[in-house]
Amino acid sequence: MSESCNQSCGTCSDDDCDERKENPVDFSEKPHELSKIKKVIGVVSGKGGVGKSLVTSLLAVTMNRRGYKTAILDADITGPSIPKAFGINTKAMSSELGLFPIASKTDIDIMSINLLLENETDPVIWRGPIIANTVKQFWTDVIWGDVDYMFIDMPPGTGDVPLTVFQSLPVDGIIIVTSPQELVSMIVSKAVKMAEVMDIPVIGVVENMSYFECPDCGKKHQIFGESHIEEVAKEHGIDLIAKMPIDTALAGACDKGMIELFDGTWLDHIADTLEMNGEKKMKIAVASDNGLVTGHFGHCESFMIFDVENNKIVKSEAVPNPGHKPGFLPVFLHDMGVNVIIAGGMGGGAVDIFNEKNIEVITGASGKAEDAATNYLQGMLKSTGSICHEHQHSDECGEE
Ligand code: ADP
């Protein structure tokens, strides 16, 4: 292992490294440096036309209505339907820094190949690797800014393109969309296996076009035959998180670009689950000396680790600093499941690795470690973004 090892084999060119051979190759891509994306949810389906884009759009609208900054990355390059559902006809702009998403009427940020093509009816006749690369660029080259929930409308199926996308983007969970007329069991089985291989949790399955409710008598008709989704979900050990009816108003809203006006509560349970997941799993690490936030991240005595549930600290423990060598601590904290790191100051190298690992960095904090964590949870602690430049010796504050 070389002196400068930062444990990121995917970006290292040292082919002779012994460690490298033991580690799996890391294909993950870094988001744009001006993007800070907290949760990434992939929406998948077995084939096109089952309502994957509609579910993606409705989820984004639902989370946006709950006050979260929401974005949609349209990775369905050969069948992009997100801009149309939101009534967006303008083209995306770029600067030397990157590409800008287009904000919908209710401020959901969107990037799609249709926002880049001269003529949106032009077919995209590209081979798989180019399609996968385009999706990667939507992650790396788009200036998303601060995003609480990003929904990815995935390419249909479980082939090469979705696989590459899952390897490259840090997807926190997937939602599988099916319709009753498909070979549901096989589709769900494939999606679940893909998620297992990629080590991504399955949030649950949505059955779209589940039934049609007669507007006159209120009777529900299973137009595509009897649904078996309950048994299929049980068989694969996943949750059935929504059943959506065939709704002509929904289809009309999509066609008219008015999806943001949709009226319905079908996806509220998913939104609750996403909120719960977001809060349940949170771990905050505060670089501390004697219970106080330390000025120098890398040289702290210990990390106070706070487990958070429903926005409240439920457990805290002090984990001694295992020692400071370049690039080591961010990986150590990531492996402990830490989502946020709070410190007085930090070196730019460490900040970069935390960002790469999707860990939020808060610098400029001081006072009691627990107060800093509580203030963060109450939205009262914002990062000053302070990077330690003032030290002559290179590794102070975790500087690489
Ligand atoms: P996919 O992304 O899976 O290819 P879409 O979301 O684009 O599928 O949906 C295909 C078409 O079916 C769209 O025109 C959409 O408006 C319509 N549609 C999808 N779900 C429903 C539904 N529950 N009720 C009515 N129309 C629907």
53 is known to lie in a ligand binding site:
yes
Q: What is the number of the ligand 1 atom nearest to the C-alpha of 45?
A: 3
Percent of the chain residues topping a pLDDT of 70: 88
Q: Which phi and psi (to 5°) does residue 249 adopt?
A: -65, -35
pLDDT digits (tens, 9 = 90+) for 166-201: 889 999 999 999 988 767 888 898 999 999 888 899
79 lines ligand 1 (CB under 6 A): yes
Q: What is the number of the ligand 1 atom nearest to the C-alpha of 153?
A: 2
157 is known to lie in a ligand binding site:
no
| In contact, 293 and 343? CB cutoff 8 Å | yes
Q: How far is the CA of 39 from the centre of ligand 1 (A)?
A: 25
What distance in Å separates the CA atoms of residue 367 and residue 372, rounded to the nearest whole number?
A: 7
Tokens of 23: 């580690």
42 is known to lie in a ligand binding site:
no
178 lines ligand 1 (CB under 6 A): no
Tokens of 75: 């990775």
Nearest to 151 by CA among 67, 60, 69: 60
52 is known to lie in a ligand binding site:
yes
383 is known to lie in a ligand binding site:
no
Q: Does the structure show a pLDDT above 90 at 264?
A: no
205 is known to lie in a ligand binding site:
no
Atom 17 of ligand 1 has which residue's CA nearest to it? 251
What pLDDT does 119 receive?
A: 80
Residue 277's alpha-carbon distances to 148, 260, 273, 315, in angstroms, are 13, 25, 6, 17
Half-sphere exposure of 76 (CA within 13 A, CB side): 28
Q: How far is the CA of 253 from the centre of ligand 1 (A)?
A: 11
| In contact, 335 and 328? CB cutoff 8 Å | no
275, with CB counted inside 10 A (0-12, 13-18, 19+), is: middle
pTM of the model: 0.69
250 lines ligand 1 (CB under 6 A): yes
pLDDT digits (tens, 9 = 90+) for 77-105: 988 999 999 999 999 999 999 999 999 99
What distance in Å separates the CA atoms of residue 268 and residue 196, rounded to the nearest whole number?
A: 26
249 lines ligand 1 (CB under 6 A): no
Tokens of 84: 């149309």
Mutate which of 54, 182, 247 for ligand 1 pocket (most atoms within 8 A of beta carbon) = 54
What pLDDT does 16 receive?
A: 67
259 lines ligand 1 (CB under 6 A): no
Q: How far is the CA of 221 from the centre of ligand 1 (A)?
A: 18
DSSP code, position 91:
P
Q: What is the number of the ligand 1 atom nearest to the C-alpha of 76?
A: 2
Tokens of 39: 């949760």
What pLDDT does 400 receive?
A: 39
Mutate which of 254, 256, 259 for ligand 1 pocket (most atoms within 8 A of beta carbon) = 254
Average pLDDT over residues 270-277: 85
105 is known to lie in a ligand binding site:
no
Confidence class for position 158, pLDDT limits 50, 70, 90: confident
What pLDDT does 256 receive?
A: 95
What pLDDT does 47 receive?
A: 84
- Residue type at 364 in one-letter notation: G
Confidence class for position 118, pLDDT limits 50, 70, 90: confident
Tokens of 120: 């949106």
Go through the domains of the chain in sequence order and give each one's CATH number.
Answer: 36-276 (3.40.50.300), 281-394 (3.30.420.130)
Can you spell out the DSSP letters for 110-173? Answer: EE-GGGTSSSTTS-----HHHHHHHHHHHHHTB---EEEEEEEEPPSSSSHHHHHHHHHS---E
Q: How far is the CA of 256 from the centre of ligand 1 (A)?
A: 13
| In contact, 76 and 155? CB cutoff 8 Å | yes
pLDDT digits (tens, 9 = 90+) for 354-381: 888 878 899 999 999 999 999 988 878 8
Give me the sign of the Cα torsion angle 115, 119, 125, 130. negative
Three-state SS sequence of 348-397: HHHHHHHHHCCCEEECCCCCEHHHHHHHHHCCCCCCCCCECCCCCCCCHH
What distance in Å separates the CA atoms of residue 357 and residue 292, rounded to the nearest whole number?
A: 25
51 is known to lie in a ligand binding site:
yes
Tokens of 182: 């498909």
295, with CB counted inside 10 A (0-12, 13-18, 19+), is: buried
What pLDDT does 386 receive?
A: 67
246 lines ligand 1 (CB under 6 A): yes
Confidence class for position 263, pLDDT limits 50, 70, 90: confident
What distance in Å separates the CA atoms of residue 217 and residue 380, rounded to the nearest whole number?
A: 52
45 lines ligand 1 (CB under 6 A): yes
313 lines ligand 1 (CB under 6 A): no
| In contact, 6 and 327? CB cutoff 8 Å | yes
The stretches of the chain forming alpha helices (DSSP H) are 18-22, 52-65, 82-85, 128-140, 160-168, 184-198, 229-235, 248-255, 268-280, 328-335, 348-356, 369-377
244 lines ligand 1 (CB under 6 A): yes
What pLDDT does 12 receive?
A: 64
Q: How far is the CA of 47 from the centre of ligand 1 (A)?
A: 12
Q: How far is the CA of 74 from the centre of ligand 1 (A)?
A: 15
Atom 16 of ligand 1 has which residue's CA nearest to it? 251
| Rg of the chain in Å (alpha carbons) | 23
| In contact, 74 and 50? CB cutoff 8 Å | no
